[in-house]
Amino acid sequence: MNTKKQIFQRLFSIIGKYKIMLGLTILLAMVFVVISLYIPVLVGEAVDTIVSAGNVDFKVLMSILVKIVIIVLLGGISQWVMSIINNYITYNTVRDIRKLCFDKLMKLPIKYIDSNAHGGIVSRIITDVDTFADGLLMGFTQVFTGVATIIGTLFFMFSMNPLIAVAVIILTPLSLFAAKFISGRTYNFFKEQSDKRAEQTALTEEMITNQKTVKAFNYEEKAIAEFDCINNSLGKISLKAIFYSSLTNPVTRFVNSMVYMVVALIGAFSVLGGGLSVGALVSCLSYANQYTKPFNEISGVITEFQNAIACLERVFGLIYEDEYSCDGHDSFEVKTGTVEFKNVYFSYNPDKPLIEDFSLKVSSGETIAIVGPTGCGKTTLINILMRFYDVNSGEIVINGKNIKDVSREELRSNFGMVLQETWLKSGTVLENLMLGVKDITEEQIVEAAKMTRAHSFIKRLPNGYNTVLSESGGSLSEGQKQLLCITRVMVMNPPMLILDEATSSIDTRTELKISKAFDLLMKGKTSFVVAHRLSTIKDADRILVMKDGNVIEIGSHNELIAQKGFYYNLYKSQFEV
């Protein structure tokens, strides 16, 4: 949990790069305040010029009015420039925070992504940062001028009438206490509001992503009811936050009105006693207004800032989340690759053991198929091999080197991976096929697409390889998207392969055709194939049969069939009615 002190320290470390701009905005704030505070002096002189003389000296009066006009213009220009600088600081800070969030997202372990709602993460990066920006912009615009105005008005009031200044100082803590008392209670409401908003975003994102499933199972009404429940909760907590935060301004205005009344009474008696001129009283009353106005503004800023800090706490919770454990720095070059699991233990949850004391040695160029019932640990083996998760104990060695001694980036660059879940980014077909490589010609990509039988349907697209695909492949079928993912790996031509249900979305006829492409792709490469359709792995060098995280059988297809064990029963269940 971040404390407010930590939040401010982290915020200032980000804003610190704009310290020159901050200095300039403070300087402009001081200029604006000095100009604003000099105007009441001139107004007081103008009043005294009218009141004290039998006949008004219009020449002196006009010169004072000209000064006021010039000073007002200068004040307006300084405030305008200050607003531009404040906007620059705010939106660049927001840009930097969003970049930190996205950079962190790319460095976070898969465990974090798996255990947090995706919509909630998006809400932190987008909505919470926007809310923080509103509070920060208001703070920059009003706090500097407000504080400077308070100090300046006290200085001028002390120079005119110390008694008035002392009375104002005595009443000031009432306003500060009221603002602090209310804002301290609104912070928790705003924090809860941010959490509920993230929950709402997560549900919306989930329903949009899985809309076909929602409709297929007639889940619409339940989804609406679930959304209404969260939406109503958000409405209630938002009303509480707004209600309590809205009390700040009226309370401080009441206290400020008392300040104005005291200044007027003391000033009036001073005028009657001859200790103060009428013009000076007008100046003091003007200063009383200027003195109390920042308290109203700052109280509003405090309310917005409580909301901003509540959102910023969630954002920093993401930015300062623990990253992957340290990567190694050894060089790592694989051409074919021997892989060895040595006494590996792994579980996602310490209370639920999964893989225990697993050992396996895979020779260079060998094809290993992994089969077994759902939840037996097939995909888990791939996760720890690719270091999406690190093993609890034991080690995984490739070409004699522990994979923890090399960086994850270098490790993964030696693997080509095709998953059951297809992913295509927004962009052209060509850009998607070049995702894992840098220097390659379009002719090489076309050749790879022909090998995977993807070329024929790509050419039928509106602009062929330059057709722009929307998020997740747009209108392409699941099979077509899977063919593009397979082609992408074919383009990479990595030394080792991982195929996790790679042909699950492809019809049997296309699967038979593409198997020849796989044979070419896998030739001489160390390959791991996870499959439910046992017909696709009959030619594997060895088949690992897993159950409850353990390898219970191992051998070739013919050897396992001859044993008439667990694999035999699995195989027969797929081909016998």
Please state which of the ranges 269-278, 391-400, 457-466 shows the lowest mean pLDDT. Answer: 269-278
3-state secondary structure of 498: strand
> Do 308 and 343 share a domain, yes or no?
no
What is the structure's pLDDT at 542?
92
**Domain's final residue, options 319, 352, 367:** 319
Compute the average pLDDT of residues 417-432.
82
> Which stretches of 15-121 are assigned E, i.e. beta strand?
none
Residue 216 lies in a domain: yes
Same domain, 304 and 350: no
Find where tokens 């300084």 sit. Answer: 78
On average, the pLDDT of the chain sits at 80
Within-domain flag for 330: no
Q: How many residues does the chain have?
A: 577
Cβ atoms of 245 and 308 within 8 Å: the answer is no
Residue 345 contacts residue 228 (beta carbons within 8 Å): no
pLDDT in tens, 427-475: 888 888 888 787 788 888 898 888 888 888 889 988 889 988 876 666 7
Instruction: Report CA-CA distances (Å) from 228 to 192, 222, 231.
Output: 17, 10, 5
The answer on 81 and 221 residing in a single domain is yes
- Answer yes or no: is 332 within a domain: no
Q: Are residues 370 and 298 in the same domain?
A: no
Give, as one character, the DSSP assignment of residue 18: G
Q: From CA 535, how far away is CA 573, in angstroms rounded?
A: 12
Alpha carbon 503 to chain centroid, angstroms: 34
Are 274 and 412 in a shared domain? no
Q: Which of 186-190, 202-206, 365-369 has the lowest mean pLDDT?
A: 186-190
576 to 371, 563, 568, 570, 572: CA distances (angstroms): 18, 18, 12, 10, 6
Specify whether 313 is located in the same domain as 346: no
Contacts of residue 26, Cβ cutoff 8 Å, sequence gap at least 6: 144
19: part of which helix (H) or strand (E)?
A: helix 19-52
Same domain, 109 and 256: yes
Are 111 and 171 in a shared domain? Answer: yes
Residue 558 is part of which domain span? 339-575
278, 360: one domain: no
| Secondary structure (3-state) at 142 | helix
The reply to whether 173 falls in a domain is: yes
Amino acid at 24: L
Tokens standing for residue 569: 């029963």
Mean pLDDT to the nearest integer, 515-526: 76
Q: Tell me, what's the pLDDT at 332?
A: 67
Assess whether 315 and 344 both reside in one domain: no
- Please state the rounded mean pLDDT for residues 331-358: 81
Tokens (6 digits) for 92: 């660049």
Any domain includes 325:
no
Q: Report d(CA 577, CA 574) in Å as an integer.
A: 8
Q: What are phi and psi of 438, to 5 degrees?
A: -115, -60
Q: What is the pLDDT of residues 94-131, one digit of tens each?
A: 889 889 888 888 888 888 888 887 778 888 888 888 88
Residue pLDDT, tens place only, 65-76: 888 888 889 888
**Alpha-carbon distance values, 514 to 331, 509, 537 (Å):** 34, 9, 13
Q: 3-state SS string over 317-378?
A: HHHCCCCCCCCCCCCCCCCCCCEEEEEEEECCECCECCEEEEEEEECCCCEEEEECCCCCCH
CATH code for position 376: 3.40.50.300
Which residues pair with residue 395 across a beta bridge? 342
Judge contact between 537 and 544, C-beta under 8 A.
no
pLDDT above 70 as % of the chain: 86
> What would the mean pLDDT of 366-384 be, rounded to a whole number?
85
Number of domains comprising the chain: 2
Residue 79 CA, distance from chain mean position: 33
Same domain? 361 vs 252: no
DSSP string, 159-226: HH-HHHHHHHHHHHHHHHHHHHHHHHHHHHHHHHHHHHHHHHHHHHHHHHHTHHHHHHTT-HHHHHHH
Going edge to edge, which strands form the sheet with 415-418?
Answer: 415-418, 496-500, 526-530, 367-371, 542-547, 550-555
Q: Packing angle between helix 442-451 and helix 478-492, nearest 10 degrees?
A: 120
CATH number, domain with residue 248: 1.20.1560.10
**Is residue 167 domain-resident?**
yes
Whether residues 439 and 361 share a domain: the answer is yes
Please list the residues that pair with 401 across neighbouring strands.
398
577 pLDDT higher than 60: no
- Residue 334 in any domain: the answer is no
Is 333 a domain residue? Answer: no
More confident position, 376 or 526: 526
